[in-house]
Amino acid sequence: MTASRLSLWQAAWVIARRDMRAILFSKAFLLFLLGPIFFGGISLGAGMLGAKAAGSAEPARLAVILSPQETADLRRAYAELAPLVDLPIVEAVRANDSEPRALLKDRDRNFGAVLTGSLAAPRLTGTPDQIERWRGRVALLAARAKGDSATYPSVALDPTSSSVASARTAQTGTATAGITLLFLLTMLLAGMVLSNLVEEKANKIIEILAAAIPMDAVFVGKLFAMLGVSFVGLAVWGAIAGVAILLGGAAIPALVAPAVGWPLFVALFVVYFALAYLLIGSIFLTVGSMAATVRDVQTLSMPATIAQLAVFFLATFAMTDIGSPMELFASIFPLSSPYAMVGRAAQSAALWPHLLALMWQIMWVAIFVRVGARLFRRKVMKSGPAGRKPKKKRAPAV
């Protein structure tokens, strides 16, 4: 079978298999596997950033189920004391709207506790740590609402196992951890793509490949070869991380289960990693293929790293408010979409947005690869479609 008979995917498979063998059996790849050790300090800094992002999430609210008059008095007291004391945001709820425990499970509202009873005998329902934290503040509000000479009432506590507010805060931490891990892996592994074609351009190998198979197949093959190498690295680092968890699991803080569950979250994380790698890798491959020397690649690596950091900060900032315009923009923008959807998977159980996001990201991978191959063919190989040739003048009739 000649090379001209190879389809796009067959030719891409030949390139991918060739590149994977060349990389996996090289000494440089063994040294590359040790790279994550140097990212330990970055992981600590990212963890601190994640903790700050979790703390900046939507604050929990205090649901109030009291009589209309007492609710109005409590609102007045809140308006007077809020500028002076750190108080939970008060939201009035109708008495026949729902039961306190049902309100705490309502995912459309971010209630941390529910105040029932009366101002003279208030009752606070919520998680043990939340109602204990708000106990004194509720007593202060109730005393202020009853009048200046009123005494502080005794607040009865009705603890529950969990609430939406506490679950959201915990799941925000899981989302941040997932986005941070995805960013570190992509930043570590996508850099290999920048210098992928420089050596072959210098040795004129790329010209032979371009003459034998379509340039799109060369790009697809090299891109998926790098992705395959990345999965080998993930397997090695995952095994090392598993051993570390088994040996020192007690010292590692446990993450709350994501909204979609751990098995599906891990599967989505792997898929979104592959798409994030293909998206940024297709851009890096285009930029690296148009660089003349290794020095040019090193010069271009800094803007590439800054672009990845910008995408990471956008997704980290947007995930604190699922459904907001910023979060929707991060989910639609191709380069930040995998990161934003990982954060959404940790905080929302809906699965249909992931199906749309996966199709959207796959479409953009195809667009980036096609555009990159055309740019390389026209700007570097100088083999783009020729312009319209001028018509030959006919010789005058004798």
Distance CA 46, CA 376 (A): 36
Q: Are 105 and 163 in contact, with CB atoms under 8 Å apart?
A: yes
pLDDT computed for residue 35 by the predictor:
66
pLDDT computed for residue 271 by the predictor:
94
Adjacent-strand bridge partners of 116: 123
Distance CA 155, CA 199 (A): 73
> What is the four-CA torsion angle of 354, 360, 366, 369, rounded to 10 degrees?
-90
Q: Quick check: pTM over 0.75?
A: no
Q: Are 166 and 127 in contact, with CB atoms under 8 Å apart?
A: yes
Tokens of 247: 């040996």
Phi, psi of 276 (to 5 degrees): -60, -40
Distance CA 62, CA 163 (A): 12
pLDDT computed for residue 336 by the predictor:
92
Q: Are 255 and 173 in contact, with CB atoms under 8 Å apart?
A: yes
User: Which of 60, 69, 53 lies closest to 88, judged by CA?
Assistant: 60
Residue with tokens 């395959």: 228
pLDDT computed for residue 355 by the predictor:
94
Parallel, antiparallel, or unpaired for β 111-117 and 122-126? Answer: antiparallel
Q: Is the dihedral of CA 341, 342, 343, 347 positive or negative?
A: positive
Write out residues in the chain with pLDDT < 70, as ranges: 1-5, 35-58, 95-98, 107-108, 148-150, 161-170, 194-204, 206-207, 210, 248-255, 291-294, 297-298, 301, 379-398
Distance CA 130, CA 143 (A): 20
User: Which of 5, 4, 7, 15 lies closest to 228, judged by CA?
Assistant: 15
Q: Are 189 and 274 in contact, with CB atoms under 8 Å apart?
A: no
pLDDT computed for residue 332 by the predictor:
93
Tell me the pLDDT of the chain averaged across its residues.
78
pLDDT computed for residue 2 by the predictor:
45
pLDDT computed for residue 171 by the predictor:
73
* Enclosing H/E stretch for 41: helix 40-55
Distance CA 317, CA 337 (A): 13
Tokens of 259: 């909204």
Distances (CA, A) of 272 to 38, 94, 193, 262: 24, 43, 18, 15
pLDDT computed for residue 54 by the predictor:
53
User: Which of 149, 114, 121, 153 lies closest to 136, judged by CA?
Assistant: 153
Phi, psi of 159 (to 5 degrees): -75, 145
